[in-house]
Amino acid sequence: MTQSKSEKSSIVVDRKKEKDKPPTKVVIRRLPPSLTPETLLEQISPLPNHDFFYFVKADLSLGQNAFTRAYINFQNHEDVFIFRDKFDGYVFVDGKGNEYAAIVEFSPFQRVPKRKSKKSDAK
Amino acid sequence: PEVQQVAKKIRPPMHEYIRKLLYKDLSKVTTEKVLRQMRKLDWDDTEIAFYATKSLIAVWNVRFNSIHCAANLLAGLAPYHEHVAIQVVDGVLEDIRLGMEMNHPKFNQRRVSCVKYLGELYNYRMVESAVIFKTLYSFITFAVSYDVNMPSPLDSPEHLFRIRLVCVLLETCGQYFDKGTSKKKLDCFLIYFQRYYWFKRSNAIWVEETRPFPIDIRNLVQDTLEAVRPKLKLSENFEEALKACEDLENEYKPRVASVLPIIETDEGNTSEADDNLTT
């Protein structure tokens, strides 16, 4: 399964089609470290049509730089801007009253899982 | 004097096992074996999957010379656990960005490791060249001030670490940007990079007799550029580097203008978008 660098033949094929598509995967960053995915979804609902969402817990070892974040892939490109206008700079408040201004950006890595039946790993 | 004992973190056996695989065992000869073990993890268990993903992101715990093995490993895991691979790449990019926002020297080695990892992830085709260029441009634009009178707290005049990060990334995967559009993109980037470099180097804080611009950075830049573009004639001062950028922008202006109506409606979150137009 491993490969030598020179071969560079691999699973993640350069996806030409995707390159030409406008970006739709968005990251919302610098959220309160104590935030839960449930609370986030509550606060940003109703979330437009999306086919991918995941939430990342904070790395608490980073102290004051510990944040949660979430990735969302919108199905309609227009929704990206509506979401950005609404939540970029939006202040989230944690249980203790601390304020966190969120940053909404295109995710630098636009890939999302392909929708296909999961290949089970026979190992 | 009493030696302060650092309390050893007690981790669940499964965490210790994952750490042993990735941070102790992983090497060129064991990559296959480690991959097999990683595939055997119970990825349906959210707690294990979370810890394994987190450990795959934390590449600064991997021996520096084995970072390419970690990239190879992730490429091997990707066909079975695509979501894991995606989260790891997202996580590495976030760490690189957060590194610029925190900008604390204690994270320098961690940041170098992450950037090296990203370069290797390109080499193992986990990310496309666009991701590499976005990252390269972020190093020379994110919270960067080109106004001598308004230095940026996140990239102050004596702060030369971003130069090192650019060089690490170019050293790792720059040699593959040798044809087609990625070649052109790198040529453009190098023009902007030299402007950044010379802006730093020509700052008044550097005084030849008392506080010269660090020689190791000079050599690093020279060696790196020579490795990716042996024939490139380097700018010799800030004015030359600035002129090269202006020439490039003038060359591309007509083309940019012709597509601008479309681009203007597009979002660009930093000044990086401006640079990307010309690439």
User: How far is B108 from B103, CA to CA, in rounded Å?
Assistant: 8
**Angle (nearest 5°) at CA A102 between A99 and A104:** 175
Tell me whether A11 touches chain B (CB under 8 Å). Answer: yes
Query: Quick one: average pLDDT of B146-158?
Result: 92
**Position A13 pLDDT exceeds 60:** no
pLDDT of residue A119: 58
ipTM at complex level: 0.86
**Mean pLDDT for chain B overall:** 91
**Angle (nearest 5°) at CA B89 between B39 and A13:** 80
Tokens of B66: 């084995």
**pLDDT tens-digit series, residues B189-206:** 999 999 999 999 999 999
Question: Comparing C-alpha atoms, which of B106, B115, B116, B6 is closest to residue A62?
Answer: B106
**pLDDT tens-digit series, residues B8-67:** 789 999 999 999 999 999 999 999 999 999 999 999 999 999 999 999 999 999 999 999
B267: nearest CB among A2, A19, A106: A106
pLDDT of residue A104: 97
Q: Enter the pTM of the model.
A: 0.88
Percent of chain B exceeding pLDDT 70 equals: 92
At CB < 8 A and 24+ separation, what contacts does B202-211 make? Answer: B202/B237, B202/B238, B203/B148, B203/B157, B204/B148, B205/B157, B205/B158
* Residue A54: closest C-alpha in chain B: B87
Could you please report the per-residue DSSP string of A75-123?
Answer: SSHHHHHHHHHHHTTPEEE-TTS-EEE-EEEE-SS------SPPPP---
Distance (Å) of CA A95 to CA A28, A32, A38, A90? 19, 9, 14, 16
**Position B259 pLDDT exceeds 80:** no
**pLDDT range class, residue A12, cuts 50, 70, 90:** very low
**Position A19 pLDDT exceeds 70:** no
Tell me whether A57 touches chain B (CB under 8 Å). Answer: yes
- Give the strand pairing for A25-31 and A103-106: antiparallel
Question: Comparing C-alpha atoms, which of B19, B111, B105 is closest to residue B64?
Answer: B111
Tell me whether A66 touches chain B (CB under 8 Å). Answer: no
Tokens of A40: 């986030």
Alpha carbon of B131: minimum distance to chain A alpha carbons (Å): 6
pLDDT of residue B131: 97
A10: nearest CB among B35, B75, B80: B75
Q: Which contiguous run of DSSP H or E holds residue A54?
A: strand A50-56
Query: Quick one: average pLDDT of B165-183?
Result: 96
Determine the residue among A11, A14, A69 to mutate to test chain B binding: the one whose Cβ has the most chain B Cβ atoms within 10 Å: A11
Q: Coil, strand or helix: which one is A13?
A: coil
**pLDDT range class, residue B6, cuts 50, 70, 90:** confident
* Residue B84: closest C-alpha in chain A: A113
User: How far is A95 from A59, CA to CA, in rounded Å?
Assistant: 18
**pLDDT tens-digit series, residues B65-96:** 999 999 999 999 999 999 999 999 999 999 99
pLDDT of residue A2: 53
Distance (Å) of CA B79 to CA A2, B54, B69, B84? 12, 19, 17, 10
pLDDT of residue B262: 57
**Position A33 pLDDT exceeds 60:** yes
Distance (Å) of CA A76 to CA A18, A24, A82, B57, B197? 14, 7, 11, 30, 40
Assess whether the previous peptide bond of A23 is cis (omega < 30° from 0): no
Q: Are B189 and B133 in contact (CB under 8 A)?
A: yes
Please judge whether B125 and A69 are an interchain contact, meaning their C-beta atoms are less than 8 angstroms apart. no
